[in-house]
């Protein structure tokens, strides 16, 4: 299947280039985000009836993992409100074009942090506290507020969207999984970029700002770090940047060999499996351990969590590679083959999320009418009772997602194995065992 260039359509191109529709979406998102913070802080402490829990961990999460990431890659990042106040401060404007020197420090993020290790850590921190985070409105409110303040703070010190690129826990996995998406932003003609001296797409110009994601659009070969903010489309004087529809996981044809990304794949795979077991399983002791943060049971849980992700999962993965001799170094083989876990992990998260989203989506109706638990009934749905939805479809949908993910992952394995000249069979076995485990945990 060839690529279809969406920006060939002038309506689409103009919508993307025009700052105003994007800003309208931004304002709605930002107001909603702040309302979610306030709901968490002053609303009812009962999570299922608080806007912050229901709209962040059920509604937004469902849209993110079931629609935005699989079909639009970093589509959420394109509309996320977190970096906006900081970015507006940096630019000294909301809509206007750059006409003055930036007044903030605009430091370059130090080299040792220019990777996704901080994002791996921030995601794990949230994951270890997830039982409390997902169920307690004021904790969600504080975390959301914390992310907003961190983004603003980083924007006053560092250049571009430092929070998004290097710290945001969500950005870490959206970036990794965006490689599977059927949408991309790429240049049209390499020669045009080669001849372009100023590179305003990266450096900015009077027409627009340099890439906030610290990416050189001319060199984009993968979706991982492009936040789809459309700034480069506005700045490029040669109209050389396009948004395309392309086959799923086209980026995995040339697998990345970065270790931080490899471990991100294991972090996501492992946490999906642990969440499935702890949150959706029938084992009460695990839930107690996960919820009672600070207790010795929780410490054991945290240790097991981290051991599973950093030792057991990658350990077994590497075991399959140890026997085979290859001219390609082990590290490179490890990183390259671990890209097979990207579609696998994504579908693990889809299957896991389907369960609690379909079970609890009915809370959205009540939370819409009475977001703070004050007795409102804005849309007449405040008395809507909890009722699981589409339950007959849940098990088949989960099987479809997991088996589909296995096929998808296996195809990636074939390609990656070819690249590093090893047999794909050990990874096939690994993916099959992991999938069977996840099927057992969820079904």
Partner 1 sequence: MPEPTLTQPIQSTVHRTFHKMRSYLSSLLFLMTGLVVVFVPLPASTTAHQERTFQIDARQFSYFPSELNVNAGDTVTIKLVSNDVVHGLYVDAYDVSVEADPGQTATLTFIANKAGAFRFRCNVTCGAMHPFMIGKLTVGSNHWLYRSIGLAILAIMGVIVLIKRKA
Partner 2 sequence: MRRAEFVSRFLILVGMALAIGAPILFWSRTPLIHVSTAEAGGWSPDTLRAKVGKPLELHLISDDVVHGFAVGQMEMEGVNVLPGKVTEVTLKFDKPGTYTFFCTRWCGVNHWRMRGTIEVSGPSSEPEPVSVPQYVTLRIDIDAPHDSPVTPENRPSAIHGQQLKATLDISKFNNSDFYRTHSPYQVFEELNSTPLTDSEKWDVVSYIWQSHTTSEALANGKKLFAQNCAACHGEGGGGNGVFADKIAQTGEVSKQTMTGSEEMQMQKPADFTNPTRMLGASPVLLQGKILRGGMGTGMPMWGSIFTEQQIWDLIAYLYSFQFEYEK
Q: Interface residues with partner 1 (CB under 8 A)?
A: 46-49, 131-132, 135-136, 278-285, 287-288, 291, 356, 359-360, 386, 388, 391-392, 395, 399, 402-403, 406-407, 410-411, 414, 418, 424-425, 428, 431-432, 435-436, 439-440, 443
Minimum distance, C-beta of residue 316 to partner 1, in the bound complex (Å): 16
Q: Does position 35 bind partner 2 by CB under 8 A?
A: yes
DSSP string, 324-393: S--SS-HHHHHHHHGGGHHHHHHHHHHHHHHHHHHHHTTHHHHHHH-TTSSS--TTS-TTPPP---SHHH
Of residues 186 and 428, the one with the C-beta less far from partner 1: 428
Rounded (10°) angle between helices 425-442 and 313-322: 150
**Contact between 312 and 384 (Cβ < 8 Å):** no
Q: Which of 7, 6, 13, 17 is nearest to 232 (CA)?
A: 17
Residue 414 touches which of partner 1, partner 2, none (CB < 5 to 8 A by kind)? Answer: partner 1
Residue 407 touches which of partner 2, partner 1, none (CB < 5 to 8 A by kind)? Answer: partner 1
Residue 80 touches which of partner 2, partner 1, none (CB < 5 to 8 A by kind)? Answer: none
Select from 182-190, 194-202, 321-329, 375-383 the region that touches partner 2 (CB under 8 A): 375-383
Q: How far is CA 225 from CA 155, 177, 250, 367, in A?
A: 18, 11, 15, 34
Return contacts of 281-284, CB within 8 angstroms, 24+ apart.
Answer: 281/441
Chosen residue from 15, 63, 89, 93 binding partner 2 by CB under 8 A: 93
Minimum distance, C-beta of residue 104 to partner 2, in the bound complex (Å): 18
Q: Does position 155 bind partner 2 by CB under 8 A?
A: no
In angstroms, the CA 405 to CA 106 distance is 42
Q: Does position 372 bind partner 2 by CB under 8 A?
A: yes
In angstroms, the CA 159 to CA 141 distance is 27
Residue 370 touches which of partner 2, partner 1, none (CB < 5 to 8 A by kind)? Answer: partner 2
Tokens of 377: 């009934």
Residue 333 touches which of partner 2, partner 1, none (CB < 5 to 8 A by kind)? Answer: none
Torsion, CA 370, CA 376, CA 379, CA 381, rounded to 10: 60
**Terminal CA-CA length for the chain:** 35
Q: Does position 90 bind partner 2 by CB under 8 A?
A: no
In angstroms, the CA 337 to CA 405 distance is 15
CB atoms within 10 A of CB 205: 17
Residue 279 touches which of partner 2, partner 1, none (CB < 5 to 8 A by kind)? Answer: partner 1
Size of the site for partner 2 (CB under 8 A): 32
Chosen residue from 3, 6, 15, 30 binding partner 2 by CB under 8 A: 30
Of residues 120 and 355, the one with the C-beta less far from partner 1: 355
DSSP string, 27-55: HHHHHHHHHHHHHHHHS-S-GGG-HHHII
Select from 212-220, 331-339, 373-381, 424-432 the region that touches partner 2 (CB under 8 A): 373-381
In angstroms, the CA 291 to CA 283 distance is 13
Chosen residue from 3, 5, 17, 38 binding partner 2 by CB under 8 A: 38
Binding site for partner 2 (CB under 8 A): 20, 23, 27, 30-32, 34-35, 38-39, 42-46, 48-50, 88, 93-97, 366, 370, 372-375, 382-383
């Amino acid at each position: 299947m060839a690529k279809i260039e969406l920006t060939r359509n002038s309506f689409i191109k103009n919508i993307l280039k025009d700052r105003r529709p994007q800003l309208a979406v931004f304002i709605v998102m930002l107001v909603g985000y702040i309302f979610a913070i306030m709901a968490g802080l002053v609303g009812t402490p009962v999570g299922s009836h608080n806007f912050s829990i229901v709209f962040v961990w059920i509604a937004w999460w469902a849209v993110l993992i079931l629609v935005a990431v699989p079909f639009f890659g970093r589509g959420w990042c394109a509309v996320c409100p977190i970096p906006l106040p900081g970015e507006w401060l940096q630019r000294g404007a909301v809509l206007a074009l750059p006409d003055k020197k930036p007044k903030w420090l605009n430091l370059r993020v130090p080299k040792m942090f220019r990777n996704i290790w901080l994002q791996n850590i921030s995601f794990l921190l949230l994951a270890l506290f997830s039982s409390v985070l997902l169920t307690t409105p004021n904790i969600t409110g504080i975390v959301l507020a914390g992310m907003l303040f961190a983004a603003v703070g980083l924007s006053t010190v560092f250049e571009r969207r430092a929070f998004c690129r290097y710290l945001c826990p969500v950005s870490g996995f959206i970036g990794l999984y965006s490689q599977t998406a059927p949408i991309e932003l790429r240049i049209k003609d390499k020669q045009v970029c080669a001849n372009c001296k100023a590179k305003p797409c990266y450096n900015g110009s009077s027409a627009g700002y340099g890439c906030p994601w610290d990416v050189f659009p001319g060199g984009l070969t993968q979706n991982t770090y492009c936040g789809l903010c459309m700034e480069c489309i506005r700045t490029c004087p040669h109209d050389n940047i396009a948004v395309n529809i392309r086959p799923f996981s086209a980026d995995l044809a040339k697998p990345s060999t970065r270790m931080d990304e490899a471990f991100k794949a294991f972090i996501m795979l492992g946490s999906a499996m642990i969440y499935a077991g702890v949150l959706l399983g029938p084992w009460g002791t695990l839930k107690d351990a996960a919820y009672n943060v600070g207790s010795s049971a929780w410490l054991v849980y945290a240790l097991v969590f981290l051991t599973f992700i950093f030792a057991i999962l990658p350990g077994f993965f590497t075991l399959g590679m140890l026997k085979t001799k290859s001219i390609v170094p082990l590290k490179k083989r490890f990183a390259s083959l671990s890209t097979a876990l990207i579609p696998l992990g994504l579908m693990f998260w889809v299957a896991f999320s389907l369960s609690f989203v379909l079970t609890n989506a009915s809370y959205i109706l009540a939370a819409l009418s009475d977001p703070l638990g004050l007795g409102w009934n804005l849309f007449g749905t405040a008395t809507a009772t909890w009722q699981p939805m589409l339950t007959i479809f849940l098990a088949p949908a989960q099987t479809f997602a997991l088996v589909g993910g296995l096929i998808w992952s296996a195809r990636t394995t074939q390609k990656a194995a070819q690249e590093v000249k090893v047999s794909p069979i050990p990874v096939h076995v690994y993916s099959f065992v992991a999938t069977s485990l996840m099927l057992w945990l969820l079904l």
